[in-house]
A and B are shown apart, each in its own frame.
Chain A
Amino acid sequence: MSSSDDDDERIPFIQRPEWSDVRPVPQDDGPHPIVPIAYHDDFRETMDYFRAVYLADERSRRALDLTTEAIGMNPGNYTVWHFRRLVLEALNVDLHEERDFIDEIAVHNSKNYQIWHHRRWVAEKLGPQAADKELEFTMMILALDAKNYHAWSHRQWVLQSLGGWEKELDYCCKLLEDDIFNNSAWNQRYFVITRSPLLGGLQAMRDSEVSYTVEAILANPQNESPWRYLRGLYKGDTDLLVSDNQVSDVCLKVLKTNHNYIFALSLLLDLLCYGFQPSDELKRVVQFLGKIEPDSSDANLATTICSILETVDPMRSNYWAWRKNNLPSEVC
């Protein structure tokens, strides 16, 4: 692939004997161009030759090499990628080779949609036998950037289309050990427990997942991800969210530490709005945080929580004030 060294060594197409039979097609910029780009000569020339082979529909080895050069300069050009795929098919190229090519260029272009799409096209053609390599590849990209959105999308597609679910939950555990704040890993965990054909689905996994999540919350209560994940475990079943002691217990535990309790309060507020009946202990702890006299008539729990949040989460104080004025009537 091109590098700053290669730029000095590049031989223009016009000087290459193997291209002497081709007449490059210049770009027709049309009427007065807006935001014109100051193309370098090598870019312009490469695209002129690409236009020539594209219009001639020449699906040859040299055309394939030309697309390699064009991609090196402009990896986002989906027309070049499309033509490359036509040439690969026409030449019946071994797609394992093509996969190796993508391995090389992907690291420096790991946020390029076209490269990921091309990867998917290759993997699809290779079939289920490609699953391991694809998971390995995404793992490599994620080792460089554990939140690369494209890598995660590709990984999810691989699992659903080609398989390979066996070690996915373990992989999520490992990534969360590396960084418990990695929201992408939490999202993948949810993906696995809800969709893996090897696990029992959300209902079957709920208890063990709740334990895992509670532990993560208690270790870092200021971490938004496990709080969202915890709620997600009860998606579609608000009654269970309200009645499962583990949920209110973790709120209580965090509140008692008197530290990093914003998410705990927020969840507790939602529970109350869903009809949760708080224990006396919970009421006392909240009143203590809100510096309210116990048994005082101002002790409406939900209102108190909103008032505390207005103070401790000032970025969202308007929101908490609104919540206070819009509590369900049963809670007021």
Chain B
Amino acid sequence: MLVCKSKSPRREKLGGPGESVRVRWIRCSAVVRLPPPAMDPEGLELERERHVLFLEMMMERLPSDFETQEINHLTLAYFAISGLGILGALDRVDKDQIASWVLSFQAQPRTMSDLDNGQFYGFHGSRTSQFTIDDSEVSSHNCSHLASTYCALAILNMIGYNLSNINSEAILISMRNLQQPDGSFMPIHFGAEKDLRFVYCAAAICFMLNNWTGMDKEKAKEYILHCQSYDGGFGLVPGSESHGGATYCAVAALQLMGFINADISSKPAKSVVVDVPLLVDWSLQRQAADGGFQGRANKPSDTCYAFWVGGVLKILGFYHFLNKGALRRFLLSCQSKYGGFTKFPENMLPDLYHSYYSFAALSLMEEEGLKPLCVELGITAINDNGI
């Protein structure tokens, strides 16, 4: 859902801010002396070390192409850190440093009465949305965001930080300000689009903090159910075309809230229920002839949907129905010689988003050398303290 668009070509100075991913890789791999990747598609292996190097490079510095994604800085960190977690390389990061950095993004109310002012006190996503507040000023500069809060908690969870040290009360009480009358969520108090992505974030936040006072689950469930399309998949808002990412948000949120285990498909309808057989049929049909998953019918396969739709099948217990061999071949055909994964097989450069979701998808199929994933939370280990 994030798109990295480099607006204008920049001169690539070695080591300078204009240095692109490609040039940096060439510089770094010359030092590490990685062997060239196997070229035979059938014999392709997951080049784990190459991917670890790619992510380490990202952790060290993101090329200036990422300026346009600056606002989602915390999300980029989540991709890199969670990716290293999946690759079993979290020992390579300084967890204390990460914890300090993530915690520095938290919006803190000055007093408990601030929690009634309609704002959300979660985590900011970037320094460009976080403003130093003078004690004497009215704190109208809080731009913390639901998605950033999810990423922050996910990162802290994965590095083993004790979540009971967080001011979770502030997060949970103020999060209710973001829920809409129809059950959906706005991500930020001053207004933005409302859709299933933020219902998912809210559910994941409550789950990780082990406290559901942050949202009205029933209302959220109703909203989710209204997003199921006539073809079985879920759209981002009611009426929208069914989409792999939206479907993941719907099913993962229902799972986190405990509605999947309640056998949602067979309860008599007071209102709407999830049509699970149709959903499973739709999800399985997303695996295209090339083995990859598409996000919508009649669209090209894209690596990230191997996680979004694969994740749906995993949660519902139908993962074993997809063709793992074909999917693996597709994913590895998108493996980049620079490390990471591309969106399509014919793409030139890997990006952090598609790399992360490719690792996650390979983890779901229990690829050797990868750590297991908690699919509905999108993180590796679950912190004992959090749950």
Q: Is the CB of A2 within 8 A of B193?
A: no
Contacts A82-B190, A156-B240, A228-B231: A37 and B299 contacting too (C-beta < 8 A)?
no
Number of residues on chain A facing chain B (CB within 8 A):
75
Give complex CA distance A15, B127 in Å. 25
Q: Which B residues touch A79, using CB under 8 A?
A: 71, 128-129, 143
Give complex CA distance A36, B141 in Å. 23
A contact face: mostly helix, strand, loop, or mixed: helix
Q: Which A residues touch B70, using CB under 8 A?
A: 37, 39, 43, 74, 76-77
Q: Is the CB of B68 within 8 A of A73?
A: yes
Q: Is the CB of A74 within 8 A of B68?
A: yes
Interface flags for B1-31 (1: CB within 8 Å of A; 0: not) read: 0010101111000001111000000000000
Q: Is the CB of A181 within 8 A of B66?
A: no
Bin chain B's interface residue count: 35 or more
- Interface hits, A69-117 → B, CB 8 Å: 72-79, 82, 108-109, 111-114, 116-117
Q: Which B residues touch A184, using CB under 8 A?
A: 241, 296
Most buried by A among B64, B285, B299: B285
Q: Is the CB of B68 within 8 A of A316?
A: no
Q: Which A residues touch B334, using CB under 8 A?
A: none
Q: Is the CB of B298 within 8 A of A28?
A: no
A223 CB, min distance to chain B CBs, angstroms:
7
Q: Does A232 belong to the interface (CB within 8 Å)?
A: yes
B contact face: mostly helix, strand, loop, or mixed: loop
Most buried by A among B58, B81, B192, B282: B192
Q: Does A20 belong to the interface (CB within 8 Å)?
A: no
Closest A residue by C-beta to B313: A319
Contact of B67 among A3, A73, A78, A235 (CB under 8 A): A73
Q: Is the CB of A39 within 8 A of B76?
A: no
Q: Is the CB of B100 within 8 A of A74?
A: no
A28 CB, min distance to chain B CBs, angstroms:
6
Give complex CA distance A272, B377 in Å. 38
Binding site for A on B (CB under 8 A): 3, 5, 7-10, 16-19, 58-59, 61-64, 66-73, 76-77, 80-81, 94, 97-98, 100-102, 104, 127-129, 131-132, 141, 143, 145, 188, 190-193, 229-232, 235-237, 239-243, 278, 281-282, 284-285, 287, 289, 291, 296-299, 318, 320-323, 326
Q: List, sorted by A's number, 23 A–B pairs whose CB atoms are closer than 8 Å.
A: A4-B9, A7-B8, A27-B128, A28-B127, A30-B127, A32-B101, A33-B101, A34-B98, A37-B62, A40-B18, A43-B67, A79-B128, A147-B296, A149-B241, A156-B239, A190-B229, A224-B285, A228-B232, A229-B230, A229-B231, A232-B229, A314-B323, A319-B321
Binding site for B on A (CB under 8 A): 2-4, 7, 25, 27-40, 43, 47, 50-51, 54-55, 72-79, 82, 108-109, 111-114, 116-117, 120-121, 147, 149, 152-153, 156, 160, 181-184, 187-188, 190-191, 195, 223-225, 228-229, 231-232, 235, 266, 314-319, 322
Given A37-B61, A40-B67, A117-B193, 6 more contacts at CB 8 Å? A31-B101, A74-B70, A76-B71, A77-B71, A79-B128, A156-B239
